[in-house]
Chains A and B, each alone.
Chain A
């Protein structure tokens, strides 16, 4: 029998859960609420600052983690949540949802490598 690949997804799900719980609230607050409402200066998310963040050795892995891990977390929950709604797991659904998470992660990694 083939070994289950579930532990890999569970690990990504768990790591994504931690990032979603600890880091995403403050990021959503800054990028989605405080800056758009003008409570924080628009300069907070200026091109220069964000570019410096995305090209730095510390910033790039953080950005990758903040995008790649929560998307695995979300797709894992959608996959199992659909089951709770009567849409039962199939190979197709598995490839579709985890494939999407994989695509988002690879896109983030590629962009971070490309950016100068």
Chain B
């Protein structure tokens, strides 16, 4: 909806920028949202790798070399934790976002969440095996 066309002037209550620090539920929510910064940064790193790959072996070796810096390794460690935290919240959210029914009964959340963890583990093992064996 284009809000610029609206003549409404709703009252917006002022909220402190630190509102989410006062309640652990909200802090968790903001941390979860914050994980997207690492997800975004990692896709840009991958895009750089693709660009360097297209420029030839030497350029690609430079990208690989850059990944060896302690700062890069630290970033990836934090990004991994962020990504796993995002995955945890994403999995527990799925049964709430998509409500599956078995007959008239709502499917219980636990098996759906567990199935997603199994999926994560399976995909991870398969990708690792491909990386090691291929």
8 Å CB interface, A14-34 against B:
16-18, 20-33
Write the nearest CB–CB distance from B19 to chain A, whole angstroms: 8
How many chain A residues touch B (Cβ–Cβ < 8 Å)?
A: 57
Cβ B67 vs Cβ A35 within 8 A: yes
Q: How far is the CA of A108 from the CA of B20 in the complex (A)?
A: 36
- Known A26-B124, A70-B39; judge A114-B87 contact (CB<8 A): no
**Is there an interface contact between A23 and B67, defined as CB atoms closer than 8 Å?**
no
Q: How far is the CB of B86 from chain A (nearest CB, A)?
A: 6
A21 and B87 form a contact (CB under 8 A)? yes
Bound-state Cα–Cα, A115 to B40, Å: 23
- The interface size of chain B toward A, counting residues with CB under 8 Å, comes to 53
Question: A70 touching B124 by the CB < 8 A rule?
Answer: no
| A112 beta carbon closer than 8 Å to chain B | yes
Complex contact A84–B83 (CB within 8 A) = no
A contact patch SS = helix
Give chain B interface residues in 42-84, CB to chain A under 8 Å. 42-47, 49-51, 53-54, 57, 60-61, 64, 67-68, 72-73, 75-77, 79-80, 83-84
Tell whether A93 is near chain B: CB-to-CB under 8 Å. Answer: no
How far apart are the CA atoms of A60 and B43 in the complex, in Å?
A: 15
Distance in angstroms between the alpha carbons of A80 and B36 in the assembled complex: 11
Chain B residues with Cβ under 8 A from A57's Cβ?
none
How many angstroms between the C-alpha atoms of A107 and B54 in the bound complex? Answer: 12
- Contact status of A1 and B47, CB under 8 A, knowing A25-B83, A47-B53, A85-B17: no
Chain B residues near A111 (CB-CB < 8 A): 47, 50-51, 53-54
CA distance A70 to B86 in the complex (A): 12
Q: Is the CB of B73 within 8 A of A74?
A: no
Q: Are B87 and A25 in contact (CB under 8 A)?
A: yes
Given contacts A47-B60, A50-B53, A70-B42, is CB(A28)–CB(B47) below 8 Å? no
Interface residues, chain B, with chain A CB atoms under 8 Å away: 1-2, 4, 15, 17, 20, 30, 33-34, 36-37, 39-40, 42-47, 49-51, 53-54, 57, 60-61, 64, 67-68, 72-73, 75-77, 79-80, 83-84, 86-87, 90-91, 116, 119-120, 123-124, 127-128, 131-132, 134
